[in-house]
Amino acid sequence: MSKAYPMPSLGAGMEAGTVVEWHVEPGQKVSRGDVVGVVDTEKGAIEIEIWEDAEVEAIVAAPGTKVPVGEPLLRLRTAVEEEEKEEAPAVGAEERTGGEAPPAATAEAAATAEEPAPPTEMADDEFVEEVWEEEQEASVPAEEPSRRLRASPVARKRAKELGIDLEGLQGSGQDRAITLSDVEGAAKKGGSEEAPAAAPKAAEVKEEAAEAAEVAPEADTDEDLATEAGEDRHAAMRKAIATAMARSKREIPHYYLAHTCSLEASLRWLRETNQNRSPSRRLLLAALYLKAVAGAIEEFPEFNGFWEDDAFQPADGVHPGMAISLRGGGLVAPAIHDANSRTLEELTEAIRDVVQRSRAGHLRGSEVADPTITVTSLGDRGVDTVFGVIYPPQVAIVGIGTAVERPWAEGGMVGSRRTATLTLAADHRASDGHRGALFLDRISQRLQSPEDL
């Protein structure tokens, strides 16, 4: 069957994205998880993935086109029946996948507004790492943010009479519902062949767009262009952060806990481990933090998920979003998928990769949409304590302060220890302080046995 691949919702308040480039062309086969193109949003240029095996039928939105969330980007041809069957369960799974589309999926009513979970984080500044590397975890990619097709009753009736597929039609009615005139207009144009123009001189446009999107370094190319795009994006990101954080402080009853723990064990183990490793294989302290948090979450699932529809919806997987500050301001908190089940080596690699891609504006849609909790660290130059602001609809953010040397009393003796203050800001609607305290303590304990992480 022929169906639309819509603009995914990648962030709180994301209403539209601009197609930067396509990595596919009509007739090309794509598999679940493939990156098919890049869209520019207030979070930067995001690589968007496809969630089912299909053949690209047509490119509906050419590079440079601004497309509202939910409206078609591509037309796909999938293998009929079977695919449909497969999809059903997937949709069910979607709720669970928490990760992904919690918002987009549930919020169809809001159509635009909900927030998948992007990045904005809030801590203050530095941050830490991220991981990700996802891609291959074919299992993780959540479902495409599917929303029920919105069409008026009479539009549906007429489309049936005319044999027109409503998928792929652009709705012009309230809430972008497909109306009778949309159906009749499509009939006039010749069936559901909505995909008009499609990919024009892809090549040229592509280059230009890609360039503009390249906030990244490498390109010593057209700096003016890049700067301009960067400024726009910066303003847009500021706005996105403003929206999400204001909503957080307005709606979420935060409670805050702090716990100072010794980092001696972790730092010593790290030094020994890294001693004989080449630079690219050296583990990052951030990876230990991430693993400690991700492991603790397994015992404290009430901090991993979303507050939606007046209830806590636990997430399926553990996909902590790592707050990453961007040069020039702003921040993102892309998901490190399944952080609880990855090795420290994998996490380190993932963190380095995602940090670089975040700054270069090359995040993937699933990374932006999937975080189930946020972890923020102010690195090793920052502050003692981080008071986090929860990224809605998540329900918790773990903050890790700077590692500092402090006097430390233990067993009747005062000594010097390198320590860090762990903090938790959590949504009191979803959890209580007692559990929060245990959660922080568990993270701390895990950092005392780095070899077990």
Partner 1 sequence: MNESDQTRVRAGIREAFRHIAPEVDLESIDPAANIREEADLDSVDAINLIVLLDKKLGVEIPESDYDQITTLQDMTRYLEAHASRDPES
Partner 2 sequence: MKTTYREAVREAIREAMDRDDRVFLMDEDVGHYGGCYAVSKGLLEEFGPERIRDTPLSESGFVGAGIGAALGGMRPIVEVMTVNFSLLALDQIVNNAATLLHMSGGAFNVPVVIRMATGGGRQVAAQHSRSLDGWYAHIPGLRILTPATLEDARGMLWTALEDPDPVILFEHVLLYNMEGELADDAGPVPIDRAAVRREGSDVSLITFGIGVVKALQAAEGLAEEGISAEVLDLRTLRPLDDDAIVETVRRTHRAVVVDEGWRSGGISAEISARITEGAFYELDAPVARVCGVEVPTPYPEHLERAALPQVEDILEAARALISGKDGTL
| DSSP assigned state of 44 | E
Lookup: tokens for 92? 């069910």
Among 278, 409, 411, 413, binds partner 1 (CB under 8 A): 278
Among 274, 341, 385, 448, binds partner 1 (CB under 8 A): 274
CB of 155 to partner 2, least distance (A): 6
Phi then psi dihedrals of residue 6, to 5 deg = -90, 160
The reply to whether 155 sits near partner 2 by the rule CB under 8 A is yes
Contact partner at residue 179 from partner 1, partner 2, none, CB < 5 to 8 Å by partner kind? partner 2
CB 173 within 8 A of CB 181: no
The reply to whether 177 sits near partner 2 by the rule CB under 8 A is yes
Among 262, 266, 325, 374, binds partner 1 (CB under 8 A): 325
CB 253 within 8 A of CB 396: no
CB 61 within 8 A of CB 72: yes
The reply to whether 156 sits near partner 1 by the rule CB under 8 A is no
**Angle formed at CA 384 by CA 382 and CA 385, multiple of 5 degrees:** 110
| Number of C-beta neighbours around residue 81 at 10 A | 9
Contact partner at residue 224 from partner 1, partner 2, none, CB < 5 to 8 Å by partner kind? none
Among 136, 174, 275, 280, binds partner 2 (CB under 8 A): 174
Which among 74-82, 198-206, 347-355, 424-432 is the span making contact with partner 1, rule CB under 8 A?
A: 347-355
Mapped onto helix, strand or coil, the DSSP state of residue 58 is strand
Per the DSSP assignment, residues forming a β-bridge with 240 are: none
CB of 177 to partner 2, least distance (A): 7
Say how far apart CA 286 and CA 289 lie, in whole Å.
5
The reply to whether 383 sits near partner 1 by the rule CB under 8 A is no
> CA nearest 344: which of 336, 332, 355, 335?
336
The reply to whether 329 sits near partner 1 by the rule CB under 8 A is no
Say how far apart CA 212 and CA 19 lie, in whole Å.
12
CB of 52 to partner 2, least distance (A): 29
Say how far apart CA 122 and CA 390 lie, in whole Å.
8
The reply to whether 180 sits near partner 2 by the rule CB under 8 A is yes
The dihedral through the CA atoms of 86, 92, 96, 101 has a sign that is positive
Which among 15-23, 165-173, 249-257, 285-293 is the span making contact with partner 2, rule CB under 8 A?
A: 165-173
CB of 183 to partner 2, least distance (A): 10
Residues 55-84 that bind partner 2 (CB under 8 A): none
Phi then psi dihedrals of residue 337, to 5 deg = -65, 140
The reply to whether 280 sits near partner 1 by the rule CB under 8 A is yes
Among 26, 64, 68, 173, binds partner 2 (CB under 8 A): 173
The reply to whether 148 sits near partner 2 by the rule CB under 8 A is no
Among 286, 288, 395, 396, binds partner 1 (CB under 8 A): 286
CB of 122 to partner 2, least distance (A): 35
Mapped onto helix, strand or coil, the DSSP state of residue 30 is strand
- Which of 250, 381 has the CB closer to partner 1? 381
Which among 175-183, 220-228, 273-281, 283-291 is the span making contact with partner 2, rule CB under 8 A?
A: 175-183
Contact partner at residue 286 from partner 2, partner 1, none, CB < 5 to 8 Å by partner kind? partner 1
Exposed (0-12), middle (13-18) or buried (19+): which is 407, by Cβ within 10 Å? exposed
- Which of 153, 279 has the CB closer to partner 1? 279
Phi then psi dihedrals of residue 402, to 5 deg = -65, 145
Say how far apart CA 314 and CA 320 lie, in whole Å.
13
* Helices 285-299/264-275 angle, 10° precision: 130
Which among 65-73, 253-261, 272-280, 339-347 is the span making contact with partner 1, rule CB under 8 A?
A: 272-280
CA atoms within a 13 Å half-sphere pointing along the CA-CB vector of 279: 1
CB of 352 to partner 1, least distance (A): 6
State the residues that interact with partner 2 by CB under 8 A. Answer: 152-157, 171-174, 176-177, 179-181
State the residues that interact with partner 1 by CB under 8 A. Answer: 126-129, 216-218, 271, 274-275, 278-280, 282, 284-286, 325, 327-328, 351-352, 355-356, 379-381
